[in-house]
Structure 1
Amino acid sequence: MRAEDAPIVIGSAGRRLYLIDWFRTAIETLGLNSRIIIAENDPTSAASSYGDEMRLLPPYTDPSYADELLRLVDEFEPRLLLSANDYELMHLHVDTNIAIGLRGRGIVVPGVSPAWQKGCADKLHMSRMLDDIGVRTPRTVTGSELDRLLDTAASSDEFVVKHRFGSRSSGLALVTANRLEEAVISSAKTVRRRADCTDVLDEVIVQPRAPGREYGVDIVSSLVDEGVLSGVFARRKLRMRAGETDKAVTVDPELFRDVAGKIARAAEMSGLIDLDIFLDDAGTASVIDINPRFGGGYPFVHLAGADVPLYYLSQIFGLRIDDTWRDYEYGVVAAKYQETRVTARGQRSNDSARSAVNVA
């Protein structure tokens, strides 16, 4: 197989059809013969039939997951493997040696070091790692340590409650101090409890609400030289929906460049990671979350001119492009909208037909 024919694999894309579109456009722009292989565990997901080919994988929790993924790799010999799922990334980079093994075979698996992948998954640990490299982040405690925050809090002070190991703002609540204990208990009821958990309140974290406005920032490092910052993109969040940015306006990323460089170096990152940052009136940035993947906010900068998929493919196929891939227009407002597509036909429902009931 010629290098330019080698496919790329996008796993757990789910509803992110735009990501597949933009990689397909980058393939065409660079004149490659590459294909996009979709790896999903749900054959009827929106993304499953949207690539050039699809392979069904078991959930990452299934004991056969590794064998099936390696079977896919043997079949297609891809040059790039992406996942858009936080828990699958944790499995690839930390719980197993799968990512290391794939890289040993010459497959690019973007991400961060195992230590930082673990930190990104554990929001308590992440706050400590950020402190260690001089990046500002809100003081963070577990739900069982509330006294450390409440001793100095006024009743009107606001706090953020969320799952310590959550994704997409799971367990999230914004409450004043006098409702904090109630919010922690409520969040703990919906937590994904780990096997080694001894106190469910330790699975919830609490932080003082960061001052200022919230931004989403994508930072991009080289895929061939880990930790070398290649681009920074930013947008101010205007509206959130289901844990993702729903409307945003693109902004100058300069105020976030120092933070981006510190994280890129410390995390030994390659490719794109997504940061959630608050910026106060003095221009001080506080990082509240890190997602080591294409996040739901990337479309806002792509539609304004950035092109990270083009950069990815130029790197993995050794092609030269100019720096315009990281140019984007500031002040562009974009909003998400909903579409529906057919993903399967001839399916028989397990639900029995129900007759209409007339109510007098």
Structure 2
Amino acid sequence: MLLNRPNILVLSAGRRVELVRFLQRSLADYVGKGAVYTTDMVPETSAACQVTEKAFSVPRATDANYVEALLDICHEYDVGLVVPTIDPELEILAREKNRFREMGVEPVVSEPELLSACHDKRKTGNLFLSLGIGYPEVYDSDQLRFPCFCKPFDGSRSVGAKVIESASSLSEQDRTNPKNMFMELIPSSYAEYTVDGYYGLDHQLKALVCRERLEVRDGEVSKGITRKDFAYEHLVNRLKSVPGAVGCITFQFFVNSYTQDVKGLEINPRFGGGYPLTHQSGAPFTDYLVREYFLGDSLLFNGEWQDGLMMLRYDAAVYCTHDD
């Protein structure tokens, strides 16, 4: 692919300052021109919107006017690449992809079938199993084994997820809620891994980085370390081709270093909050985006990233003048 429009639009930019800056650097390094723009419902209070060339206020992704607002921005500001960052945007962009393409704009979004399998956790398990990757056992609501794990099949960021210790602690509301699914509880001997995969326009894996989550704050990793271990070797061949995958795909796994058991948990087909660690380890996905979409490069697989690189996050701020 060779986009003629030189600018990038990052949606729902929020606090994603590092992602925006990585994209700015990639554009400068490989194209030498172009700008990174951002959207947010309230860009005046978005840190990432303060570090871009221009930021736009748009309605919520579920609003009927959302797509028209994005198309207007792309048309007026010569946007060639649209990068979503939150789940509600994905299916909308996939459904309306042709409208963007008619303008010469490419949304970085996977195919609808994969999005559906990622969104519906009941389908996620089948996808992992089809790739030769284990998945926690799913229980029927009338055949539970305790303790077990309960979560909505369409949930995100652990909202509504809980451990059910025993039959006496299972409420009737949880048991009969049609959105709840009940799963095998994975013991604490398993570590949590987030695995970032970059998939080219050919749906083939171009890079895969495993990072262990050492500490999580508000659902996002605050301390992590890259691991090129047995889990990487286990996954790199199994994930080399995922039908419909495009761009950054963020996988979640449970990993037992003693038994070398690996179980899939979730798939988020977008950039995750911990992506900066992957980037700094030597797998710059934003470079890959710019090279594929703006230069038409065919990417080779990159396995040369740094093992044992630790990320220790801290609070930082963007300071700007606000006009009432």
Q: TM-score range by the shorter chain?
A: 0.7 to 0.9
For structure 1, which runs of at least 5 residues remain unmatched after alignment?
189-198, 348-360
Matched residue, 1:294: 271
| Whole-angstrom distance in 1 between the partners of 2:303 and 2:196 | 11
Matched residue, 1:86: 87
Matched residue, 2:311: 334
Q: Confirm or deny: 8 A CA contact 2:150 2:181 kept in the other structure.
A: yes
Amino acid at match of 1:268: G
**Closer/same/farther in 2, CA of residues 336 and 3 from structure 1, 3 Å limit:** same
TM-score by length of 2: 0.88
Q: Secondary structure at the match of 1:48?
A: helix
For structure 2, which runs of at least 5 residues remain unmatched after alignment?
none
Matched residue, 1:219: 197
Tell whether 2:166 aligns with 1:148.
Answer: no
| Whole-angstrom distance in 2 between the partners of 1:10 and 1:274 | 17
| Whole-angstrom distance in 1 between the partners of 2:293 and 2:99 | 17
**Closer/same/farther in 2, CA of residues 106 and 7 from structure 1, 3 Å limit:** same
- Alpha-carbon deviation of 1:35? 0.4
Matched residue, 2:166: 177
Alignment deviations for residues 135-162 of structure 1 (CA, whole Å, 9 cap, x no partner): 3211235xxx432223xx4xxx4x3222
Q: Confirm or deny: 8 A CA contact 1:219 1:260 kept in the other structure.
A: no
- Alpha-carbon deviation of 1:344? 5.4
TM-score by length of 1: 0.79
**Percentage of identical aligned residues:** 23
**Closer/same/farther in 2, CA of residues 128 and 32 from structure 1, 3 Å limit:** same
Kindly name which structure, 1 or 2, has the bigger radius of gyration based on alpha carbons: 1
Number of equivalenced pairs? 319
Matched residue, 1:317: 294
Matched residue, 1:235: 211
| Whole-angstrom distance in 2 between the partners of 1:138 and 1:103 | 39
Matched residue, 1:306: 283
Residue of structure 2 aligned with 1:113, choices 108, 111, 117:
111
Alignment deviations for residues 45-103 of structure 1 (CA, whole Å, 9 cap, x no partner): 2222321111221111211112111111211232211111111213322xxx2124324
- Alpha-carbon deviation of 1:340? 2.4
Matched residue, 1:76: 77
- Alpha-carbon deviation of 1:257? 5.4
Matched residue, 2:29: 29
| Whole-angstrom distance in 1 between the partners of 2:312 and 2:161 | 22
Compare relative contact order (CA 8 Å, sep 6+) and give the higher one, 1 or 2. 2
Q: CA RMSD in A?
A: 2.7
| Whole-angstrom distance in 1 between the partners of 2:300 and 2:117 | 31
| Whole-angstrom distance in 2 between the partners of 1:277 and 1:271 | 19
Amino acid at match of 1:335: L
Q: Confirm or deny: 8 A CA contact 1:272 1:292 kept in the other structure.
A: yes
- Alpha-carbon deviation of 1:164? 2.1
